[in-house]
A = this chain, B = another copy of it.
């Protein structure tokens, strides 16, 4: 059995159709229940010990003025995550999701692991991609290996993917353009809030970086060329998470860029991914269309951190509970459609 097992999919659909409701009337929640049953290879899937991984890193390209916020905000937000004051902190607490922040390459020394923090640094930030590759191949491989190791250390059967990194919409934009074949301009958005001339400047910088690395065409070459360390770590998380049959809850634009890379390396990854929301960031719809998937929520979120994944989490719990706990027509003594009308 795998996430594409068609016989198991049919059994799950029959179970859902026998629940006390008109067939299909729970809409995409039924598809979600089916997917969870396939991933966890169970007709009564139970989500256990969900883990939110917020992968944080800095980007050398920030020096080119592609973000509305200064680079030190990456470090400051890591402290905010740990102190419990960030959006993802509040949402993870609400839903009983364990939150682990990973320093994948923040330009700051946190002094080693702390409760809630894992320091897994392949480098203290990427190099400026406008001057050369963001990562050396060895750094990129190490960041991916860190992601795989992190998953091996975590309990549970569901991972929620988050990220933080000033300028990381730039890296995600470049990866999305390269891996989907769309124009950089079509994939470039406001990030944390650029408008007018500042947004035009970001686009010019990204077009120039894109051309500079025209030869970085394989998924791994593009990842190394454009960055970032947090995206590479997330690629490792996705690859290992799928291998272990965990449910992978994808957040927004940056985490979806990691899926583009991981799926290009291992196509089975996509079947383990639940796409939580459509981001307000422009390139996200392009990345999702390339993957042929439709996310659960469309709320104009554009924060990242894993906030959209956390907001969607109760829908996954609902889907698994409905599959497990709803009565069947026979069990509840409810007439099926048309029984008396015949």
Interface residues of A (CB under 8 A from B): 19-29, 65, 68-70, 72-73, 76-77, 79-80, 83-87, 90-91, 93-95, 192-193, 280, 296-303, 307, 311, 314-315, 317-318, 321-322, 325-327, 331-341
> B residues within 8 A CB of A298?
298
Contact B311 A77 (CB under 8 A): no
Given A23-B193, A86-B20, check contact A72 B335 (CB 8 Å). yes
* Beta-carbon contact of B315 and A311 below 8 Å: yes
Q: Are A337 and B21 in contact (CB under 8 A)?
A: no
In the assembly, what is the distance between CA of A85 and CA of B340, in Å? Answer: 22
Which chain B residues border A29 with CB–CB below 8 Å? Answer: 299, 301, 311
Q: How many angstroms between the C-alpha atoms of A95 and B313 in the bound complex? A: 13
Q: A22-B193, A87-B322, A193-B23 are in contact. Are A79 and B332 (CB under 8 A)?
A: yes
Task: Closest B residue to A193 by CB, please name it.
Answer: B22
Report whether A321 and B27 are in contact in the complex, using a CB–CB cutoff of 8 Å.
no
Question: Are B26 and A303 closer than 8 Å at their CB atoms?
Answer: yes
Contacts of A79 in B (CB 8 A): 332-333
Contacts of A315 in B (CB 8 A): 311
Chain B residues whose CB sits within 8 angstroms of the CB of A70 once the complex forms: 335, 339-341
Residues in B with CB closer than 8 Å to A84 are 325
In the complex, what residues of B have CB within 8 A of residue A317's CB?
94
The residue on B at minimum CB distance from A281 is B25
